[in-house]
């Protein structure tokens, strides 16, 4: 189940850092993609070269060495889970207080997916009420903690503080990632992007949809364990792709596949009209001052599949520049789908082409749930959690 998963391992300055090498091997053997972030102090215990060789990836330490356009602590947050092993008393206490004075700490602060920490320290440090209070704080805000074992410690004493074995940390990681798989065994079809209505072999009518919201939904659904079919004008690795251009092609693809699905999410911006008479030859400019295109109505895919499949969970989108909620309520009543996700395209900071969004989920009873402004990835996860609750 770890095949293709992205695991970020954090290593801090403790003697158990050498065990992180075995942990990396276990994740790699299981097919995961591993990246490693270290505190500068951890370098006293393990070398960058060892970790690079084991992870077969760049190892990250410095906060201010930025090669790409994205600061590293943000780029690293794209992993599926952050496993900090060993977690020193120092790093635990800094994390619990929002301190971000190294790359590992900044990454932990920004990381929004599951986090697992494996404390390892001398018994006196472990029993210190401040360390315990800081661990409790982390637990309260959702960190998973694999508590240290009782045993012989590197400082020559016996007691609680010994980091759990790499195999145990590995198993705990698998457990966390599987309980996160809320959509395991679900099949979801998602449409994304703006359709293209052809005028002639080189011209078409389209819209401003970037497909980012649909793609974020597809990625979030996959992360939550679903098998995703993506019907779109573009192809993306990791999904069952069906590439379509026009509304009619999209309709055909959705109808062919909908019988196998648990849910269909229509996030694509489907053109309401298409050109009545497609020209097989490129239209020449000619002498006339104008050109009139006659348009005919396209099929209403959302309405048709909602009406034809009352048992299927169908979700539509509604992009409005005015009277957002009112129009969303009218749309759900007309289309007969289970949910409408409404977003305001008049705002420059969200919606079309933006990386962020803010949406309202309207259900069949016309009850409304607002999802506050966030990245499209987080909005996507929250939408899926809400509709599959």
Ligand X SMILES: Cc1cc2nc3c(=O)[nH]c(=O)nc-3n(C[C@H](O)[C@H](O)[C@H](O)COP(=O)(O)O)c2cc1C
For 314, list phi and psi in degrees, rounded to 5.
-120, 130
Which CB sits closer to ligand X, 89 or 108? 89
Which CB sits closer to ligand X, 155 or 243? 155
Which CB sits closer to ligand X, 38 or 220? 38
CB distance 1 to 81 below 8 Å = no
Catalytic residue, candidates 21, 109, 155, 263? 155
CB of 89 to ligand X, least distance (A): 4
Q: Which stretch binds ligand X (CB under 6 A): 74-82, 87-95, 327-335, 375-383?
A: 87-95
- Asked if 88 touches ligand X (CB under 6 A), the answer is yes
- Asked if 309 touches ligand X (CB under 6 A), the answer is no
Q: Which stretch binds ligand X (CB under 6 A): 88-96, 260-268, 289-297, 319-327?
A: 88-96
Closest by CA position to 170, among listed 54, 27, 11: 27
CB of 140 to ligand X, least distance (A): 21
Pick the binder of ligand X from 89, 231, 254, 384 (CB under 6 A): 89
Which CB sits closer to ligand X, 158 or 355? 158
318 assigned to active site: no
Which CB sits closer to ligand X, 102 or 377? 102
The conformation of residue 194, written as its DSSP 8-state character, comes to B
**Alpha-carbon span 189 to 99, nearest angstrom:** 42
State whether the Cα torsion 176-182-184-190 is positive or negative: negative
CB of 346 to ligand X, least distance (A): 47
Neighbouring C-beta atoms of residue 64, cutoff 10 Å: 7
Both tokens of residue 230? 């993506």
- Asked if 93 touches ligand X (CB under 6 A), the answer is no
- Asked if 244 touches ligand X (CB under 6 A), the answer is no
CB distance 347 to 337 below 8 Å = no
CB of 301 to ligand X, least distance (A): 54
Which strand ranges, in their side-by-side order, compose the sheet holding 144-145? 59-60, 33-38, 6-11, 81-87, 115-119, 144-145
Which CB sits closer to ligand X, 108 or 250? 108
* Residues in 176-205 that interact with ligand X by CB under 6 A: none
Pick the binder of ligand X from 51, 81, 103, 125 (CB under 6 A): 125
* Residues in 10-39 that interact with ligand X by CB under 6 A: 12-16, 39
- Asked if 247 touches ligand X (CB under 6 A), the answer is no
CB of 386 to ligand X, least distance (A): 38
- Asked if 107 touches ligand X (CB under 6 A), the answer is no
Closest by CA position to 79, among listed 22, 31, 35: 35
Pick the binder of ligand X from 91, 209, 219, 229 (CB under 6 A): 91
Peptide bond into 86 cis (omega under 30): yes
State the alpha helices, DSSP H only, in the chain.
Answer: 17-29, 48-55, 72-75, 89-96, 103-110, 123-127, 129-140, 166-179, 212-223, 247-257, 301-308, 324-335, 376-387
Neighbouring C-beta atoms of residue 237, cutoff 10 Å: 5
CB of 90 to ligand X, least distance (A): 4
**Alpha-carbon span 133 to 51, nearest angstrom:** 32
Strand partners, 315: 265, 339
Please count the residues of this chain forming the interface with ligand X, following the rule CB under 6 A: 15
Which CB sits closer to ligand X, 96 or 275? 96
CB of 117 to ligand X, least distance (A): 12
Pick the binder of ligand X from 76, 117, 120, 216 (CB under 6 A): 120
**Alpha-carbon span 249 to 346, nearest angstrom:** 29
Binding site for ligand X (CB under 6 A): 12-16, 39, 41-42, 88-91, 120-121, 125
Catalytic residues: 155
């Amino acid at each position: 189940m770890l095949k293709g998963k992205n695991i970020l391992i954090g290593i801090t300055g403790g003697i158990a850092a050498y065990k992180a090498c075995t942990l990396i091997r276990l994740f790699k053997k299981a097919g995961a993609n591993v990246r490693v972030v270290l505190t500068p102090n951890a370098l006293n215990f393990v070398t960058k070269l060892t970790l690079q060789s084991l992870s077969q990836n760049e190892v990250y330490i410095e906060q201010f060495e930025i090669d790409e356009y994205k600061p590293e602590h943000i780029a690293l947050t794209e992993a599926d889970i952050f496993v900090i092993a060993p977690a020193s008393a120092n790093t635990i206490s800094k994390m619990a207080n929002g301190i971000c004075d190294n790359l590992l700490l900044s990454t932990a602060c920004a990381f929004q997916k599951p986090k697992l920490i494996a404390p390892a320290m001398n018994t006196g440090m472990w029993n210190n009420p401040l360390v315990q209070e800081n661990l409790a704080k982390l637990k309260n805000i959702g960190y998973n903690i694999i508590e240290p074992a009782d045993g012989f410690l590197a400082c020559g004493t016996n007691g609680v503080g010994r980091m759990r074995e790499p195999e145990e940390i590995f198993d705990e990681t698998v457990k966390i990632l599987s309980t996160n798989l809320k959509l395991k065994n679900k099949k979801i079809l998602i449409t994304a992007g703006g359709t293209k209505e052809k005028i002639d072999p080189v011209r078409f009518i389209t819209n401003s949809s970037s497909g980012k919201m649909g793609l974020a939904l597809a990625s979030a659904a996959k992360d939550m364990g679903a098998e995703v079919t993506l019907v779109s004008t573009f192809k993306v690795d990791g999904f069952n792709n069906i590439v379509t251009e026009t509304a009619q092609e999209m309709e055909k693809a959705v109808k062919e596949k909908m019988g196998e699905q648990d849910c269909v999410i229509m996030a694509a911006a489907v053109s309401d009209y298409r050109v009545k008479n497609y020209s097989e030859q490129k239209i020449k400019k000619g002498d006339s001052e104008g050109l009139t295109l006659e348009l005919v109505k396209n099929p209403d895919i959302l309405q048709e599949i909602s009406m034809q499949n009352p048992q299927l969970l169908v979700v539509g989108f509604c992009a409005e520049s005015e009277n957002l909620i009112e129009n969303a309520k009218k749309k759900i009543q007309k289309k007969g789908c289970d949910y409408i996700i409404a977003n305001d395209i008049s705002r420059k900071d969200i919606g079309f082409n933006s990386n962020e969004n803010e949406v309202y989920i309207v259900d069949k009873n016309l009850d409304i749930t607002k999802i506050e402004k966030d990245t499209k990835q987080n909005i996507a996860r929250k939408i899926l959690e809400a509709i599959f609750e």
